[in-house]
Amino acid sequence: MIPEVIKIFTSTESGHVREVVTSSREGGASLNVLSGLTAGNFSAYWMGLVIVGLMSIAFLVSGEGLGALMRSSFSLNPAAVFAFGLVAFGFLGMGPVTIAVDSYGPVTDNAQSVYELSLIETIPNIKQSIKKEFGFDPHFEEAKTFLEENDGAGNTFKATAKPVLIGTAVVGATTMIFSIIVLLTGLEADKMRFLSLMHAPFLLGLIMGGAVIYWFTGASIQAVSTGAYRAVEFIKANIKLDGVEKASTQDSKRVVEICTIYAQRGMINIFLTIFFSTLAFACLEPYFFIGYLVSIALFGLFQSIFMANAGGAWDNAKKVVEVELKEKGSDLHAATVVGDTVGDPFKDTSSVSMNPVIKFTTLFGLLAVELAITLAPGVAHVLAAVFFLISTVFVWRSFYAMRITSVGA
pLDDT at 403: 86
125, with CB counted inside 10 A (0-12, 13-18, 19+), is exposed
Encoded amino acid at 219, one letter:
A
Q: What is the pLDDT of residue 62?
A: 78
Q: How confident is the model at residue 408 (pLDDT cuts 50, 70, 90)?
A: very low
Q: Is the pLDDT of residue 340 over 70?
A: yes
**pLDDT confidence of 407, banded at 50, 70, 90?**
low
Contact 31, 57 (CB under 8 A): no
283-303: per-residue pLDDT in tens? 999 999 999 999 999 999 999
Q: Is the pLDDT reported for residue 21 higher than 50? A: yes
127 contacts 68 by C-beta, under 8 angstroms: no
- Residue 77 confidence (pLDDT): 62
Give the model's confidence band at 276: pLDDT under 50 very low, under 70 low, under 90 confident, else very high: very high
State the pLDDT confidence band at 345, using cuts at 50, 70 and 90. Answer: very high
- Taking 70 as the threshold, does the pLDDT of residue 278 lie above it? yes
- What is the amino acid identity at position 229? Y
Return the closest-CA partner of residue 157 out of 115, 97, 116, 111.
Answer: 97
Point out the least confidently predicted range of 18-27, 84-93, 104-113, 255-264.
84-93
The overall pTM is greater than 0.75: yes
Give me the mean pLDDT over the 224-243 stretch: 85
Range from 75-89, 119-133, 207-221 that averages highest in pLDDT: 207-221
Please state the rounded mean pLDDT for residues 185-199.
79
Question: In whole angstroms, what is the distance from residue 357 CA to residue 214 CA?
Answer: 12
Distances in whole angstroms, Cα of residue 268 to Cα of each of 272, 391, 392, 408? 6, 12, 14, 26
C-alpha to C-alpha distance for 368 and 384, rounded to whole angstroms: 11
DSSP 354: H
| pLDDT band per the 50, 70, 90 thresholds, residue 409 | very low
Q: DSSP secondary structure string, 75-86?
A: SS--HHHHHHHH
Q: Given pLDDT bands bounded at 50, 70 and 90, which one contains residue 271?
A: very high
**Quick check: 42 pLDDT over 90?**
yes
C-alpha radius of gyration, the chain, whole number? 25
Q: What is the mean pLDDT of residues 214-229?
A: 93
225 closest CA partner among 313, 346, 308, 309: 346
Q: Which tens digits make up the pLDDT trace of 66-89? A: 666 665 555 566 777 778 777 877
Q: Which residues of 45-61 are buried (b: 16+ CB within 10 A; e: fewer)?
A: eebeebbeebbeebbee
pLDDT of residue 339: 93
Check if the beta carbon of residue 352 is closer than 8 Å to that of residue 167. Answer: no
Tens-digit pLDDT profile for residues 346-397: 988 898 888 889 988 988 988 899 889 889 989 999 999 999 999 999 999 9
SS3 241: coil
Tell me the angle at which helices 331-345 and 15-61 cross, rounded to the nearest 10 degrees.
30
pLDDT band per the 50, 70, 90 thresholds, residue 29: very high
Distance CA 78, CA 76 (A): 6
Q: Are 157 and 105 in contact (CB under 8 A)?
A: yes
Query: What is the predicted pLDDT for the residue at 73?
Result: 54
**Coil, strand or helix at 406:** coil
* Percentage of residues of the chain with pLDDT beyond 90: 40
pLDDT of residue 20: 94
